[in-house]
Structure 1
Amino acid sequence: MCGIMRESLRRLASDEGIRERRAGGDTRRVRVELMDGDHITVEVHRKARGADLLDKVCDSLDIVEKDYFGLLYLLRGDPRVWVDLGRRLSKTFRNEPWDVRFAVKFYPPEPSELQDDMTRNQLVLAVRRDLVEGRLNCSSITYALLASYRLQAELGDYEPGRVSPALLAESGPIPLRVFTPDMEERVEELYKKHRGQTPAEAESNYLESVKRLPLYGAELHCARDSSEVDIVLAVSAPGVAVHRDGQIMNRFPWTKITKISYNKRTYTLRLRAGEFDDYETHLIFRLTSTTAAKKLWRCSVEHHMFFRREAPVVVERVAGFPRLGSRRVSCRRTLRQLRASAPAHAPPLVA
């Protein structure tokens, strides 16, 4: 009898262990780095897609306008690869915890149209990170203005003696390396002028200043032109711009681009004929690898779709590449759909 009882207990313990393993096997842990540098851990179902994870992160931050955001991860040394929202996460990641970085993917061309204070705050953090990491540059005057708005948003009205290198390092409105005694004095003078602005108004004015910068919201891709000169292609809301040695050499708005394609390491823009041209223009750029060319193509298609289309569309297959991989882009709603769904009674913030 005792032997039978022991055998029954072993089976019961074994069955409970199996159930526990199965229950634990249905979830995966994802470590998410937020834009202020903090980390959170999110649990998702093992069959969850990228969109499910993005929704969970946005819900945890109380973000309503989710379509501006995305998730970055590290792939073969490249830290700025976007998680495919339509793909199962288990096909992208292997060992737990899965690591991603929450980021703004589509920067609104008119930040004043944002309806959610949390979205606006996250956009400010994203711009600050772009400044710190060198993807966005501006003059020292603009640096000082941005710093003064950040101080107003974080600390409220000016008080004598508040502006100091230690405070600027703590609040981190812009890279500390640009601060000199003259810069501190300039920031302090500008900070005084913002008295009475609420945090939301200060952040709104911050973004109104940032949106005029040439590289605001741009995804940067290193390439070479037809003369084998090193350039940077910047993809953003207005279109594709060519930068060389920090200067804008040319701009190609989406309205002028009729086709975007890639083949192996080449990326091609087909431009519609101008008023005095007989033929369309084909601009060919060379990337370092097929992966880099595909990444640039996908970035361009997604930005064109988000900022120019009425609604997401199926992307035509690129010759020579697998059908599913070439057609998959991450864009759930376009900017026009977001604007159409925004409350009509909510006016933009203006200081």
Structure 2
Amino acid sequence: MPGVTAAAPNNAAEKSPKMKMQSGGKKVLARIKLLDGTIFETPIDKRANGVELLNIVCSHLNLMEKDYFSLTYTDHNKILTWLDLTKRISKQIGDAQLEFKFEVKFYPPDPAQLQEDITRYQLCLQIRDDILSGKLPCSFVTHALLGSYLAQSELGDYDPEEHGTNYLEELRFAPNQSPELEEKVMELHRTHRGQTPAEAELHYLENAKKLAMYGVDLHPAKDSEGVAIMLGVCASGLLVYRDRLRINRFAWPKILKISYKRSHFYIKIRPGEFEQFESTIGFKLENHRAAKRLWKTCVEHHTFFRLASPETPSKRSGLFPRLGSRFRYSGRTQYQTRQSLIDRPPPNFDRTLGKRFSSRSMDGELC
């Protein structure tokens, strides 16, 4: 380090289905599913890069700490893919309809260090999605605690006359929500009296960040013995899971180099205290695209969380083959976004957690 080297071969651009254009041919209509479940539509230039669309969405949401967020789309292989913000959208989507999801890409290890409540609120929405989809497993106790903070954020102080006994029916906070769980949430909700929505959301995030799978991007793979595993990329490094249990962890400072070749992904590890030589560990992914996707995810997470600023293509060395991928993470790093102080009054915004989950009409419309 200080940075992980990331060698990789070239790969031809993928093609997808047909783009839907508005009349005139100069603009295309993009539809984005936001984290509150609503659909935002906007015309964009057909030659626009991904970052232009992300900026429009963040402006619509009044978000300034936008570096933690990005857009996903479903490619022609039915795989959810992050939009490359540096490239023209049409070259990535091909002729497909421009339908995206706005999501958290980089989960901050310490949400309290985010500068604005509106950013933390969007992170709460993402974590709720992760919990409801099963991506972020929780125990009964944790479901109850997190649900109680969401209730406080959305509904305010518990009022027996206003809320009654069934007031949580419209608030979804767990994938298998039961009367027993709702009763526990109501019991805990009563203890949060006096907390503002922003305070309740911060408590929610402070507890969510402790969950084992918080911010972990999982990729199915096989180890050197052909055993099925999951590789997880997160702020702290690369994690290895087998049967839902973490069996290994490679922190970014321990990793010297990441690379992929065909369907194989490799990490070169620093020698330990009593070791003399570096070691290379290999994993087999489903195919070349999956290996490259994992490699790119590692490059982006390492750069965002570990480096003060992104590496530039001019910093190429003998470790990078001439025909290797030129991909680098080009956005701001976490260090840079924290250094960029926001100077504005706290923006007003609507909290729509209850509205979102009292209606499922938007489900399945996008991606």
Q: Could you state the TM-score of these two structures normalised by the residue count of structure 2?
A: 0.82
Partner of 1:37: 37
Separation in structure 2 between the aligned mates of residue 329 and residue 174 of structure 1, nearest angstrom: 37
The answer to whether the 8 Å contact 1:72/1:79 transfers is: no
Q: Percent identity?
A: 43
Aligned to 2:237: 239
Q: Name the CA distance, whole Å, in 1 between partners of 2:231 and 2:198.
A: 33
SS in 1 for 2:93: coil
What does the per-residue CA deviation read over 1:17-49, in whole Å, with 9 as the maximum and x for residues that have no partner?
xxxx99832211101011122111111112110
Tell me what 1:305 maps to: 303
**SS of 1:112's equivalent?**
helix
Q: Deviations over 1:169-209 (max 9, x none)?
A: 5222332x1x3333222111111111100000001110000
**2-structure distance, mates of 1:132, 1:343:** 32
Shifted more, 335-344 versus 228-237: the winner is 335-344
The reply to whether residue 248 of structure 1 matches residue 246 of structure 2 is yes
Counterparts of 2:62 and 2:321 in 1: how far apart (Å)?
43
Give yes or no for the alignment of 1:333 onto 2:343: no
Match of 2:349 in 1: none
Aligned to 2:44, the other structure's residue is in SS state strand
| Cα separation, 1, equivalents of 2:320 and 2:226 | 25
Which of 191, 194, 202 is the aligned partner of 1:193? 191
Matches within 5 A, 1:1-351: 24-95=24-95, 97-160=97-160, 162=163, 167-175=167-175, 177=176, 179-314=177-312, 323=324, 326-342=325-341
Relative distance call for 1:313 and 1:169 in structure 2 (3 A) is farther
Q: Hey, which bits of structure 1, 4+ residues long, moved more than 4 A?
A: 315-323, 343-346
Three-state SS of the structure 2 residue aligned to 1:296 is helix
Cα deviations across residues 152-172 of structure 1 (Å, max 9, x unaligned)?
A: 00000012373766x545222
Q: Is the 8 A contact 2:220 2:229 kept in 1?
A: yes
Q: 1:330 to 1:101 in 2, by over 3 A?
A: farther
Task: Give SS of 1:170's match.
Answer: coil
Aligned to 1:18: none
CA change 1:183–1:261 in 2 (3 A) is same
Q: Secondary structure in 2 aligned to 1:25? A: coil
When residues 224 and 319 of structure 1 are mapped into structure 2, their CA distance, relative to the original with a 3 A threshold, is farther
Q: 1:146 to 1:79 in 2, by over 3 A?
A: farther
CA distance change for structure 1 residues 121 and 289 in 2, over 3 Å: closer, same or farther? same
Alpha-carbon spacing, 1:200–1:287, altered in 2? closer, same or farther (3 Å)? same
Distance 1:345 1:65 in 2: 13
SS of residue matched to 2:332 = coil
| Residues 157 and 195, structure 1, Cα contact 8 Å, conserved in 2 | yes
1:33-76: per-residue Cα shift (whole Å, max 9, x none)? 11122111111112110000000000000001010001000013
Q: Residue deviations 1:281-303, cap 9 Å, x none?
A: 21111000000000000000000
| Partner secondary structure for residue 53 of structure 1 | helix
- Alignment partners' CA distance in 1, 2:200 and 2:326: 41
Q: Is the 8 A contact 1:163 1:184 kept in 2?
A: no
Q: Please list the CA deviations of residues 235-289 of structure 1 after superposition, one character each: whole Å capped at 9, or x if unmatched.
A: 0101111111111111111111111110001111111011100111211110000
CA contact (8 A) 1:218 1:236 kept: yes
What is the CA–CA distance in structure 2 between the aligned matches of 1:110 and 1:71, rounded to whole Å?
22
Indicate the SS of the match to 2:224: coil
Q: Which has the higher helix share?
A: 1
For 2:342 and 2:312, locate their aligned partners in 1 and report how far apart those are by CA, in whole Å: 29
Extract unaligned runs of 5+ from structure 1: 1-20, 347-351
Count how many residue pairs are aligned between Structure 1 and Structure 2: 321
Query: What displacement does 1:341 show?
Result: 1.3
Are residues 232 and 30 of structure 1, via their aligned partners in 2, closer, same or farther at CA, if it must alter by over 3 Å? Answer: same
Q: Supply the AA of the counterpart residue of 1:41.
A: E
For residues 303-327 of structure 1, the C-alpha deviation after alignment (integer angstroms, 9 at most, x for no partner) is: 000000110113669978964xx22
Gaps of 5+ in 2: 1-20, 346-367
Q: Equivalents in 1 of 2:320, 2:164: separation in Å?
A: 58
Deviation, structure 1 residue 119? 1.0
Contact kept, 8 Å, 1:263 with 1:320, in 2: the verdict is: no
SS at match of 1:193: helix
Distance 1:197 1:320 in 2: 56
1:205-245 CA distance string (max 9 Å, x none): 10000101111111110001111111111101011111111
Say which one has the larger Rg.
1
2:30–2:41 Cα contact (<8 Å) kept: yes
Pair 343,75 (structure 1): closer, same or farther in 2 beyond 3 Å = closer
